[in-house]
Amino acid sequence: MPQTRTTNQTSGPGSLLPAIIILVCAALDVAILIIMLADKSRLNSDFMAFWSYPRFAASHPVALLYNTDALRGFQQTLYPGFDSFYPYLYPPTLLLVTWWLKYLSFTYAQWLWSLTGLIAIIAAIIALFPTRRGPVMLAILASPACLLNLATGETACFTTALLLAGLAWLPRRPALAGIAFGLLTLKPQLGLLLPVLLLARHEWRAIITATLTAIGLVALSCIIFPVGLWPLWAISLAGYQADIFAGHGLNLHILVTPAANLISLGAPPALAWAGQLAATLTVAALMWLVARRGPYRLAAAALLTGGFLAVPHAYAYDTITITAALALCYRPTMPLWHVAFGGLVYLAPLLLLTPAAPVFLYAVPVAGCFALIIMLALAPPNGALSADEPIAKRASQC
């Protein structure tokens, strides 16, 4: 379908409100970062985990990565005064792309890690939003979710970049998109809805290359590391998830999924699992419907948002993708209450930095956002496609 540019879009509260929210959020981010940098007694959070894993694997039998006592003792030796623990909950393939960290000091590794993540996400934003790259880039980089990721040294910049780049490439370069999606198996829960989207849209080339990429990563890990790491990963992951659902897991309050929120309310594990299963099936069914009937940009937005409702384990710093989903939905002429609600979802992670964090149910605004995207996607067509929409699917695949 040829694209036409919408004209005479009015400016007003629907245009001004997002700009105000983003600028205020950016100012808050700067203030929070200054406070964090000034706190010299604070240890350097989650990046310590990624820096420790390859060091441990290089100096111990690699299978001990999944041994709680061995890894905890190593981390406490590596970081004097550190009395917490970062378990290795990732597939063995993650070691393939983090091995280089053991060759650098902690400070240089952290700076390079953060810089590489920022470059990756900026490149992905440019690919997905070619005509709105500036405003969207500012919105994503100033988002509270991005602040949480950069402050903790987590992986969300990389995973967000893979998702955004894959969605940008899917209409015209499906094989390249499949490679990006295949690499996302390094943190597989964040791509749970991708098979639904790809199957619903008959994206066979992307499915094939994603599968081959994932198989290649697994095969390479089995060549370099013991094959027995894979069952150890499955066992440790199940044990950690059970620990969370028992109500005494690590950082329960920054998990953003329905199951985690139910546990934080005091629900028994059986009820949490039932609620999560219901959410997963509902979100997957709606994702299929939108992928079949809705505009591509809104199907992409639904995927970027719904993934946090479909999995039992995802953290607030992973939700950078929700800002991209909001940008895919945003139009200056949309109702003001849509814009205001999007602003609340955008700002929601800030509550995790306040005393309200233990009682904040993050899945609620995410579910509201997902529901709104579904309604927009399934509404009758009204007007021309925006020039800001990601490239339309090839006519041969429509």
Complete DSSP assignment for 170-189:
TTT-HHHHHHHHHHGGGSGG
- pLDDT at site 52: 94
CB burial readout 109-119, b (16+ within 10 A) else e: bbeebbeebee
Among residues 280, 325, 311, 281, which one has the least CA distance to residue 167?
325
- Residue 40: CB partners within 8 Å, gap ≥ 6? none
Whole-number Å distance between alpha carbons of 273 and 154: 27
Give one DSSP letter per residue of 48-99, joined into a string.
Answer: HHHHHHHHHHHHS-GGGGG-HHHHHHHHHHHSTT--S-----S-TTHHHHHG
Structure tokens at 72: 């905890």
Whole-number Å distance between alpha carbons of 122 and 379: 32
Report pLDDT digits (tens) over 44-87. Answer: 578 999 999 999 999 999 999 999 899 999 998 888 878 778 89
Whole-number Å distance between alpha carbons of 246 and 268: 8
Residue 152 falls in which region: left (phi positive, over 0), alpha (psi -120 to 50) or beta: alpha
CB burial readout 123-144, b (16+ within 10 A) else e: ebbbbbbeebeeebbbbbbbbb
Structure tokens at 247: 């109500």
Looking up tokens 């995410």 gives 366
How long is the chain?
398
Among residues 130, 160, 135, 131, which one has the least CA distance to residue 148?
160
Whole-number Å distance between alpha carbons of 280 and 268: 18
Asked if 180 and 297 touch (Cβ cutoff 8 Å), the reply is no
Q: Who has greater pLDDT, 221 or 313?
A: 221
Report pLDDT digits (tens) over 299-345. Answer: 999 999 999 999 988 888 899 999 999 999 988 888 888 888 988 89
Asked if 263 and 243 touch (Cβ cutoff 8 Å), the reply is no
Whole-number Å distance between alpha carbons of 353 and 56: 31
Q: Who has greater pLDDT, 206 or 397?
A: 206
Q: What is the DSSP letter of 381?
A: P
Model confidence at 210, in pLDDT bands (50, 70, 90)?
A: very high
Structure tokens at 43: 């240890």
Whole-number Å distance between alpha carbons of 271 and 275: 6
- Reported pTM: 0.88
The pLDDT of residue 3 is above 50: no
Q: In degrees, to the nearest 5, what angle opens at C-alpha 253 toward C-alphas 265 and 112?
A: 160
The Cα diameter of the chain in Å comes to 65
Model confidence at 347, in pLDDT bands (50, 70, 90)?
A: confident
Report pLDDT digits (tens) over 81-139. Answer: 787 788 998 999 999 999 999 999 998 999 999 999 999 999 999 999 998 888 999 99
Lowest mean pLDDT among 213-217, 354-358, 387-391: 387-391
Structure tokens at 208: 């094939």
Among residues 233, 185, 195, which one has the least CA distance to residue 62?
233
Whole-number Å distance between alpha carbons of 318 and 251: 14
